[in-house]
Amino acid sequence: MKIAGIDKDRLREFLDIEVDPKDWEEFKKRRNGALLGVDLVRNDQLEDRYIWEEGREFVMADFNGLTLFMAGTFVPRDPTLRSVILTGDVFLQDVDDRRGVANQIMVKIGHRDQIESVSTAIDNLDFPVDVQTSTQYAALDQAVTDLDEMLRYAGHVILAVAVVIFVGLANATSMAVRERVREVGVLRSLGFRRTTVALLVALETLALALVGGALGAGGAAFAIFLRGDTISVGAYSFPVGISATLVAVAVIAAALVGLAGGLPAGIGASRRPIVESLRSVD
């Protein structure tokens, strides 16, 4: 979720949005008026969390208790704005005690052939802070690139965690098998082959890994769905979600980890002499 302060009088010159005329008038009339992206109000959990209702004020506890008036909703052409709250720029600046400070300024040009000349003219102006001028599409591309870098870094962290989990699971499986050596000996004395015993141990760990993977991946997907979180990069907001394909991949990965951890332990237990297994107290 992202809150963006904009110039209400010129908003529609730059953003292509659909909004009810009555909601628009209410939005412009009230100093703390806000329009909510359509994806926000369609998320029941978020609505319960922030208790917003059209025509009433609500408090954003996650944003230092910011109080906004929900004038209505809007449907943007740009999908990155579907989880954004729009409110007045002056109001938002006053709340943060940063009157006149903006993170992004949009300039509308007459023709696309003027992009380079206008950008150069803006960069040559004497500003008290550093500015970087780019087209809206270039800014979106940069935001996507930044998001991709964040996800790549997160992927490295996840890989390291996965290795630690694999080692821990393999160790736990080996210990569990060693504690049941006598059971393995009984199976072998009843005529079960070594391959059968090893397969039974591997299937048991596989089943446990499948159940654990399904519960973990399903729980994570459900929690993310309930929270309705977004990742904000620059001026853009990207919704966070887990696809069914990703859940399936996570379950399969958990199964492979369980199989890889249980199969060596099962083979080792099945190769142990029957007499030694039966008198084992481990």
- Identify the domain boundary among 82, 97, 123: 123
pLDDT-derived band of residue 136, with 50, 70 and 90 as boundaries? low
Q: Do 91 and 183 share a domain, yes or no?
A: no
How many C-beta atoms surround the C-beta of residue 160 within 10 A? Answer: 10
- Residue 44: per-residue pLDDT: 58
Q: Do 26 and 102 share a domain, yes or no?
A: yes
Q: Do 114 and 47 share a domain, yes or no?
A: yes
Does 207 fall in a domain? yes
Q: Do 35 and 118 share a domain, yes or no?
A: yes
Q: What is the DSSP string of the chain?
A: -EEEEE-TTTHHHH--EE--HHHHHHHHHSTTEEEEEHHHHT-HHHHHHHT--TTSEEEEGGGTTEEEEEEEEEEESSGGGTTEEEEEHHHHHHHTT-TT--S------S-GGGHHHHHHHHHTS--SS------HHHHHHHHHHHHHHHHHHHHHHHHHHHHHHHHHHHHHHHHHHHTTHHHHHHHHHTT--HHHHHHHHHHHHHHHHHHHHHHHHHHHHHHHHHHT-EEEETTEEEE----HHHHHHHHHHHHHHHHHHHHHHHHHHHTS-HHHHHT---
Does 88 fall in a domain? yes
Q: Do 41 and 80 share a domain, yes or no?
A: yes
- The answer, yes or no, to whether residue 144 has pLDDT greater than 50, is yes
Q: Do 271 and 169 share a domain, yes or no?
A: yes
Q: Do 59 and 165 share a domain, yes or no?
A: no
Does 183 fall in a domain? yes
- Give the chain's domain count: 2
pLDDT digits (tens, 9 = 90+) for 61-109: 767 778 899 999 999 888 778 888 899 988 888 887 777 676 777 777 7
Q: Do 179 and 253 share a domain, yes or no?
A: yes
Range of the domain at 234: 138-278
Does 129 fall in a domain? no
**φ/ψ (deg, to 5) at 264:** -60, -40
Q: Do 69 and 167 share a domain, yes or no?
A: no
Does 144 fall in a domain? yes
pLDDT digits (tens, 9 = 90+) for 193-221: 888 877 887 888 888 888 888 888 888 88
Does 51 fall in a domain? yes
